[in-house]
Each structure stands twice: as structure tokens, then as C-alpha cells.
Structure 1
């Protein structure tokens, strides 16, 4: 099993880091480390996140942060789709990647 970050998830991490870094660079690094640490735990416990609000996804609350990682469990990997603030309005669609089929709220696919 391997961990894969979708482009959107990497963009989310970069935006989170930049936003926090402007006020507190040390806190920005800490939050990013927490996100990565929590995501890596999914390799051992891929079903540990709750069922996602979008069919076929799961959501992992990132400890000690207000962020949630949306992900899919596939046969050989865990793919982090997005990292979003828990209080923000979520999109109706979470793209697995920018060129592939997205996962939509009404989609009943399991993401595999």
C-alpha cells in the first residue's frame, strides 16, 4: 500500500501553509507535519476515517488542526483527494486527479 497525494490536495497543503505562515511560520510547519503524519497513518489503518460526505470517499479529521483530509482507499494505495478546513463549504465534487474522473456527491462509485 502506498500514499498518493492528488494535485488538489498538494495545492490545499500549500495554501494552508502560506496562510498560516504569514502569521506564524513555526505553526505553519507544525500543521503541515500533522497533516502528513495523519495521512501516513492511513497506510496502516486505511478505514480509520469516517465515511465521507461524498459517496466513495472517507474523511480523516487531522488531530490538533481544523482540517479534514478527504481520501479514497484503492487496492494498492490511499489517495488523498483534498485537505479542507472543517468549517469551509465543501465542493460538490472531489477530483481524484485533474485529468481523471472525479468523485461527485451523487456518484455511488467506491473510488476504485
Structure 2
């Protein structure tokens, strides 16, 4: 079964949505009130999306996700044109790193909005 969505907590769902839509050619699928008097903005395409959530209360900084149970290590996004996506990432002020070319595709990583790590991958 395909993955439908992921839900991540961010400081400002609207700002994160704007950035991710620009980087990945996504659209806002839905926006509205959510649990704990919070706000959710769903961004993605017709097949899947990323739910960006923020509660009403201020958020505490999290530890390094690679060393915490229930941590989110990174979110992998399939892109049509890796070089174009990398140019967008750089133009948005983020630093691409860890470029690799191995089966099944080419990829790079970057730390994006709210310190969330993303992997952009292109399958040829």
C-alpha cells in the first residue's frame, strides 16, 4: 500500500507550507483547525501529502532526532529534476549536502524549514 501522508510538528505551518510548495512544486491541499486548538496545512500532490501541524502552545526545541526514540530522521521526496530542485534549495537559503549516486537513484540532503532534514531523490 502506498504511504498517504506524514504529519510533522512545525513552528509556523503556513510559512513551512509556502517554502515546501516552492521547493517541490507542491500545492496546499487543505488548511484548517486541528487538535489542541492547533493549525494544520496539508501540502503535496494528488497522491500523498505532508501535514504541517502546530499546536496553539509554544513549542519546545527537540533533541537530535537521530538519537531519540520516535525521532524523525529525514523525509525523502522524489523529484523530477534533481539539479533544478538543488538550485531551488540553494536559492531558498538552504545548503545541499551528502550528494550520492547509487541504486536506485541520485540524491542529496538538506536541512529545511524547522530544522527538518529532507532527502531529494531522482530515479532515472
Quickly name the TM-score band, shorter chain normalised. Answer: under 0.3
More strand by share: 2
TM-score, normalised via structure 1 length: 0.28
TM-score, normalised via structure 2 length: 0.26
